[in-house]
Chain A
Amino acid sequence: MAHSVIPQGKSVVTPARLSNAKRKKPRGVRAYTAFRVAALIVIVLALLAPLGWLVASSLKTNVDIYDPTKTIFFTPTLENYVNVLTRNNYFVYIFNSFWVALVSTVLSLVLGVPAAYAMSRFTMHRSALVVLMARVIPGISLLVPWYYVFSNLRMVGGFSVLIMSHMFVALPLVVYIMISYFDSMPLELEESAQVDGLTPIGAFQRITLPLSVGGMATAGILSFIFSWNNFMFALVLSGAKTKTLPVAIFDFVSYASIDWGGLMAAATVVTVPIMVIALFTQKYIVSGMTAGAIK
């Protein structure tokens, strides 16, 4: 980050400061620092506490969930997890989610990376717009015709349809991220490779692709996350055997009552793996989400 450019010792005055101190007045700076620390603690708490609540509730019995005296202090139990994982085919759903996310990510990279390369190098703005349209159009407006066609082809409930629909989300993401990645890559590298005798496609394979591994990692991780989290397409297009985790969560909601403990355990099972992946790949996710934001 550009942050590190600023030497640590230098006193920094931030424009957002709400103060009457005009020039590096130590007191004003100290007041701002105190305000900033307090504000940051509030922000971090506001973002993390609900997730903590989710995990804590998944470790409570249904009786304890209803007990206000056991809000923070309770005896943790793995009962809910045992229920979720043994009774409800959850390992199958975990596999389904994983498989659909993995295959749709790989296929999106295979289709999207060369496309983004061509769109970047030949400035195909209009073509890029066609692919990015998929990002703008509400998925629901395509779902009825998809459902019609694929149910006639007897494909609804199979993996191929699910993977295709998730690719529809992932592919524009890959193209979007990779275009900005290729845009920032100097053309000279390929040109000199071509001068040395490589064909243009050879230069793409030998020079550009290896250099864009970082961008592909970013695009891949993000499309995996989006596919893992996708709910609407899976809700309509998955069958009993291909149900993914976000849809399976609803097994714990019935008309009569909600098994809150089980529900929270199921929600934790969906959310925690993707969060762990996110923690280890932070850098990539941030660069992907902000790709193309600054031009």
Chain B
Amino acid sequence: MTVSSKSEARPRTVAQSSAFSNWANKHRKWLFASPAMIFVGLLIVFPLVWTLYLSLTDSRGSVRAPSDFIGFGNYLTVLSDFDRFWPAVGRTAYFTVTALVVEMVVGMMIALLLWRPFRGEKWVRVAILLPLVATPVAVGMMWKLIFDPNMGFANQMLGWFGIPAQPWLSGQATALPTTIFMDIWQWTPMVVLILLAGLTSLPEETDEAARVDGANAWQRFFFVTLPLLKTTVIVAVLLRSIDALKTFDILYATKGKGGGSFHEVETLNVYAYGLSFDYNEYGLSSAVLIIFFLIIIGFMWILTRRRKGNN
């Protein structure tokens, strides 16, 4: 990008332009767009093709180690793996769906609470912004201390109410819900911000008209506000589901390799990371990655198709 220097007295006009400048102006569409597209394209297309190739080999140990072509063997191994792969798929679905539903419902409630102006709005805005910008790994560590079974504040608080201490992150059954809770804490504010932006852009007349017609608060929300807000809601669902599917930082920070000793929080992302960089099973991990990739693309395709159909 050439930003004209200050020494240049006058901007170049059409009459003064050189042959190159003429060419550049004529082709500015691609001149502007291609550097970014080439950068992203190179970082996406080659790796995907290469992952596809790797997934058909028995590559392992070192990325530079020689490997043999074994066809679809890795895919068969992965798809028949009911110990690690399928539970990971289940956990990913569980994590994404639970986090998404809670974040949307709670986010909508908070957004409605903040909709109309009130005193101290500024403070609430700050509170909403801080979890969003906090470093996820640090957030994971912070919750890990709060949820520590022996000295964590969470169990201390339960103690005040006479509720027995919970294992939280260290329990096999409670670990995943606990990490979902962390995700909800960090990302509900995102949903609130998006929905609030949608709410404030709504015309006020329709709500007013419905009120004059005698609609109560529930009716106005479900029959007036919500339909008008549909696009915004879909955008929020899209953004949150993409990120929830790919969650890694908090899971790895709180439970480490393999998602804990019983793989209790091992989602597809954590599983694929472990196969690639903890166990160096490149062939196998590539097969998992291709499947993961297809799941996400398929998921996005369904969501965006619905969006087009709705509008």
Contact = CB atoms under 8 A, between A and B. Distances in A.
Contact of B113 (A13, A16, A111, A201): A16
B4 A205 contact: yes
B200 A14 contact: no
Interface residues of A, number: 117
Given A51-B130, A231-B248, 17 more contacts: A3-B116, A6-B116, A14-B217, A51-B131, A118-B33, A140-B289, A144-B286, A151-B64, A168-B40, A199-B25, A202-B13, A204-B28, A206-B11, A232-B248, A253-B256, A282-B125, A294-B231
Interface stretch (B74-82, B95-103, B269-277): B269-277
Interface in B264-309: 269, 272-273, 276-277, 282, 285-286, 289-290, 292-293, 296-297, 300
Given A114-B1, A141-B47, A286-B193, A171 B217 contact: no
Contacts of B293: 137-138, 141
B138 A44 contact: no
B109 interface: yes
B9 interface: no
Contacts of B51: 141-142, 144-145
B135 A229 contact: yes
Interface string A261-295: 00110111011001101110010011001101111
Contacts of A206: 4, 11
A39 B113 contact: yes
A145 B43 CA distance: 9
B118 to A, nearest CB: 7
B55 to A, nearest CB: 10
B50 interface: yes
B227 interface: no
B185 A113 contact: no
A55 B303 CA distance: 40
Interface in B35-71: 35-37, 39-41, 43-44, 46-48, 50-51, 54, 63-64
Contact of B135 (A133, A141, A228): A228
A271 B248 contact: no
Contacts of B245: 138
Nearest to B282: A144
B133 to A, nearest CB: 4
Interface string A146-190: 111101100000000000100110011001000000000000000
A22 B33 contact: no
Interface residues of B, number: 120
B15 interface: yes
Interface of B: 1-4, 11-15, 17, 21, 24-25, 28-37, 39-41, 43-44, 46-48, 50-51, 54, 63-64, 109-110, 112-118, 120-121, 123-139, 141-143, 145-146, 150-151, 153, 156, 185, 189-190, 193-194, 196-198, 200-201, 207, 211, 214, 216-218, 220-221, 224-225, 231-232, 235-236, 242, 245-246, 248-249, 252-253, 256, 269, 272-273, 276-277, 282, 285-286, 289-290, 292-293, 296-297, 300
A13 B115 CA distance: 11
A149 B44 CA distance: 13
A71 interface: yes
Nearest to A13: B211
A240 interface: no
Contacts of A147: 63, 276-277
B141 A263 contact: yes
